[in-house]
Chains A and B, each alone.
Chain A
Amino acid sequence: MNELQISSGLLLAGALFMLGLIGVLIRRNIIFMLVCVEIMLNAAGLAFIVAGSKWAQPDGQVMFIFILTMAAAEVSVGLALILQIHHQLKTLDGDAANSMKG
């Protein structure tokens, strides 16, 4: 069994995070933005698991559980907000909600 370097795990997490970031920045649809935020959260969770695995302690997984919980709550509230925006502005364009500009 070759040893799995910790750096590869962290690199994977970083790459996933970067992809999620690109997704948030380029998409105008709000739901896509939410999905990409989920990707980023997942990547962060992966980083924690890698760290926990290095030290062979459950702390990494515990942290991952917390992140998971938070992501679930955030998605539900976020979707409720998206429904409101769709109802008020009749569009899913993220740039349409810009009356706070200036």
Chain B
Amino acid sequence: MEVTFYIAGAVALISTVMVITRYNIIHALLYLVVSFMALSVVFFILGAPFAAALEIIIYAGAIVVLIIFVIMMLNLKEEAIQQEKRWLTPDVYIGPAILSIILLSELIYIVSMGGSSGELGKIVDVKEVGRSLYGPYILGVELSGMLLMAGIVGAYHLGRQKKKVVHRFLEKIEE
């Protein structure tokens, strides 16, 4: 059980590193999908089958696909990759790396101080999750619904581009 956890964790880490260092964005997104799948395995090990399923369906299946659609819509050419090459010079890594290492060490320190060790891996059923959602967390569910609706409306409105509508007789003259 542990071994699976460690292997899946390693895969997730490596593929995440690949995500952040690729020049081609589609490559990065593919690595992202791999990372999500690895994490889904980790969720299974941790006894959360519902979460694992949702991770694949929504994260890898919907969100990443949405991003790929937008990229395709943007119609990026070869020069985009060259641009990324120019932007991602080695000296860019220094500052963020230092900061992140400090942050990570702090986190490790806090976690190791924690001292709570418990048995992980007990499976929590979908039924339980459902009962919890529609029980104590019903308000949260309703709010999430409203959030999604706001997201839809917002996305539609913000993505709109005003196009000049020219009468068809005038179209000919423009051309």
Interface residues of A (CB under 8 A from B): 1-12, 14-16, 18-23, 25-29, 31-32, 34-36, 38-39, 42, 45-46, 49-50, 52-62, 64-66, 68-77, 79-84, 86-87, 92
- Chain A residues with CB under 8 Å of B76's CB are 92
Name the residue on A nearest B80 (C-beta): A92
- Chain A residues with CB under 8 Å of B66's CB are 75-76, 79
Interface residues of B (CB under 8 A from A): 1-2, 5-6, 9, 12-13, 16-17, 19-20, 25, 28-29, 32, 35-36, 39, 42-43, 45-48, 50-51, 54-55, 58-59, 62-63, 66-67, 70-71, 73-74, 76, 80, 83-84, 87-88, 92-93, 95-97, 99-101, 103-104, 107-108, 111-112, 114, 116-122, 124, 128-129, 131-133, 137, 140, 144, 147-148, 150-152, 154-159, 161
- Chain B residues with CB under 8 Å of A77's CB are 151, 154-155, 158
A96: shortest Cβ distance to chain B, in Å?
12
Q: A34-B67, A54-B120, A62-B133 are in contact. Are A73 and B148 (CB under 8 A)?
A: yes
Q: A56-B124, A80-B155 are in contact. Are A22 and B19 (CB under 8 A)?
A: no
Contact B117 A7 (CB under 8 A): yes
The 13 listed contacts between A and B (C-beta, < 8 Å) are: A3-B117, A4-B121, A6-B116, A7-B114, A9-B42, A27-B20, A54-B116, A60-B48, A64-B54, A65-B144, A70-B147, A81-B158, A83-B159
Contact B70 A83 (CB under 8 A): yes
Contact B103 A21 (CB under 8 A): yes
Contact B46 A1 (CB under 8 A): no
Q: A71-B63, A72-B148, A80-B154 are in contact. Are A21 and B29 (CB under 8 A)?
A: no
